[in-house]
Amino acid sequence: MGRAYRSRGKWIFDPARRWRGGRRELTWSGSTGPEDGDHCIAEVPDDGPARLVEVLGADDRPEWDDRSVASQYRLRTFFSPQVEREVGRLAEPAARDFAGRVDLRERLTFTIDPEDARDHDDALSVSPAGSGRYEVGIHIADVSHYFRPGSAIDAEARVRGTSTYLPGGAIPMLPDRLSGDLCSLKPDRDRLTLSVFCDLDRDGALYGVRFAEGVIRSRHRLDYGEVQSVLDGAHSVSPELAEALETLRRLARALRGRRREAGALELEVPETKASVDGRGVPLRIERREHLESHELIEEFMLLANRCVGAEGARRRAGLLYRVHEPPSPRKLEELDLVLKGLGLPRPGAAAEPARALQALLAVPLDPPRRRLLHRMVLRALARARYLERDLGHFGLAAHAYCHFTSPIRRYPDLHNHVRVREWLRGARTGAWDPVELAAIAEQTTAAEQNAADAEREAVRVKGLRFLEGRLGERASGIITGVVPKGFFVELDPTPVEGFVRVSWYLDDHFVLDSSGVRLVGRRTRRRFTLGDTVDVAVARVDVLARECELALETPPRRPGRRHHGRT
């Protein structure tokens, strides 16, 4: 991305990313070109002129931010006419669609989602099953009912791979008619599901599982904050709903305890959320609070995914598995050295890495340092991915784990729904074509990572917009990274990261120590270490270049020295 402007009769493209070779002559085909100062996307070859791809508009208008990120990451924002035609032929589920399905409309079922969620792809129910057991119903929107594999809808969903959630709204995997309407488990509407019924005792032991095509009618659309208030006794609901939520909380706690005993990791890396108004102007940048109501939903979604994965493995049913390989010894050694340099507890060379990391993550620390520690552990872990075969999931201490519970927003879940429908209907249950399955796994893994990168970038853009009007304001923050030229600081309570060029503000030459976790002044021996709290001021913000410079709150080095530049 960059700016276009006229110079000596030619159009010039000025990239925001300075490593792309600097300014280039700009060319394009067609009659519509940029206006002077427009924010643009261009392809920049190693040599020669840049080619205009898209004009995004004036770069000082926050309403263009999401669009610029979508273009930068090549996200598909429109559906083809063929997809729209297929979607236009779909209708509300009716009696003919209920044939052969389990009628669950009289059960107390409800959804629990973020307050601003528009698609609801999972609902829960719970009822006594005798002998101190409970039957938990995990009801997942049956998206696979609405199209055929190989259809235009299916092909588009596979290319997109996932929904992408930007501050101004979602770029959905499926058209809104499906994602926000026909497949969304709205209250008081008949909706089709693939349901997993788990027979659990009070200690979270699983005694049996069954799968069914169902039809439900959700009674309540609950959000996480509302459910947390009910669990805390601060909000009243009907006795039936309150009892169901309390039962599910007890069972979720038991399931979580069992996962812990098996070696599952509990990483706490808060998600940063940007709230914007209708014009894209950021109102708040905040860490999303993690509540027990989140954990309640997480446990039952994990349970359903494990049950489907285990049954699919038994049937050799061609599922896509979610795999997470153990961290390499080299990564664990690097983590151990960093923690040693910081004087924090270390995992060491334990025979069981999961147990060592569990103990490390349980160390009591203040919130900023705890976040830092959990991020460092996360960086040491392998990245989870999709695969056509099961290699186990290290972080969850699980085998035969798949994604099943979010078919509205993830293609692997949708693929697995098709396989589950096959075995429920007695259709093909042999191994899926392994070559095709491997291609889907690779494609959807790449799409997921691209979407995650886009989401982080979009939140950073809004964070920079938020700071743009706060130049000179003072704040404190924690050092999150150190490099030879300075250190990165995440501000608190507004979690936006900026860079401090320390030698501009202190009359000393700073070097990175052997552990790589601190800068040390050669003359003063002053130190800046990962996890330290520092006071800074917002010095410069460049939204287009994605840069934020912070000034260290000390007297400047000495007159006459330069105090401006780029990271």
Q: What are phi and psi of 416, to 5 degrees?
A: -65, -30
Q: What angle do CA 511, 533, 526 make, to 5 degrees?
A: 35
User: Are 273 and 165 spatial neighbours (Cβ–Cβ below 8 Å)?
Assistant: no
Selection from 485, 478, 489, 482 nearest residue 538 by Cα:
489
pLDDT of residue 442 exceeding 90, the answer is: yes
In angstroms, rounded to a whole number, what is the distance separating the alpha carbons of residues 99 and 101? 6
CA dist 305 and 361 (Å) reads 25
Structural domains in the chain, CATH included, are 2-59 (2.40.50), 98-316+404-433+443-463 (no CATH), 469-552 (2.40.50.140)
User: Which three-class secondary structure string do you get for 351-398?
Assistant: CCHHHHHHHHHCCCCCHHHHHHHHHHHHHHCCCCEEECCCCCECCCCE
Per residue in 178-218, pLDDT tens? 999 999 999 999 999 999 999 999 999 999 999 999 999 99
pLDDT at 558 over 70: no
- Which has the closest alpha carbon to 498: 554, 558, 543, 452? 543
Q: Read off the amino acid at residue 490.
A: E
Assess whether pLDDT exceeds 50 at residue 430: yes
DSSP string, 414-463: HHHHHHHHHHHTT---S---HHHHHHHHHHHHHHHHHHHHHHHHHHHHHH
Average pLDDT over residues 353-362: 90
**Residue 450 structure tokens:** 């691209």
Q: Which two tokens stand for residue 8?
A: 């000596």
Written in H, E and C, the secondary structure of 179-224 is: HHHHCCCCECCEEEEEEEEEEEECCCCEEEEEEEEEEEEECEEEEH
Residue that wins the pLDDT comparison between 174 and 14: 174
Measure the CA dihedral 522/524/528/532, to 10°. Answer: 160
> Taking the CB of residue 329, how many other CB atoms lie within 10 A of it?
10
Mean of pLDDT values over 116-132: 93
pLDDT at 141 over 50: yes
CA angle (52, 57, 62) in 5-degree steps:
135
CA distances from 488 to 47, 175, 479 (A): 33, 40, 6
The reply to whether the predicted model has a pTM over 0.85 is yes
Q: What distance in Å separates the CA atoms of residue 269 and residue 266, rounded to the nearest whole number?
A: 10
Provide the 3-class DSSP secondary structure of residue 64: helix
Q: How far is CA 268 from the centre of its chain?
A: 13
CA torsion angle for 74, 77, 81, 84 (degrees, to 10)? Answer: 140
DSSP 291-336: -HHHHHHHHHHHHHHHHHHHHHHHHT--PPEEEBPPPPHHHHHHHH
Query: Is 565's pLDDT higher than 50?
Result: no
DSSP run (H or E) holding 259: helix 239-262
* Positive or negative: CA dihedral 219, 224, 226, 229: positive
Q: What is the chain's length?
A: 567
Average pLDDT, the chain: 91
Among 368-372, 395-399, 499-503, the range scoring the smallest mean pLDDT is 368-372
Q: What is the pLDDT of residue 556?
A: 47
Q: For the chain, what percent of residues have pLDDT higher than 70?
A: 95
Question: What is the mean predicted confidence (pLDDT) over 116-141?
Answer: 95
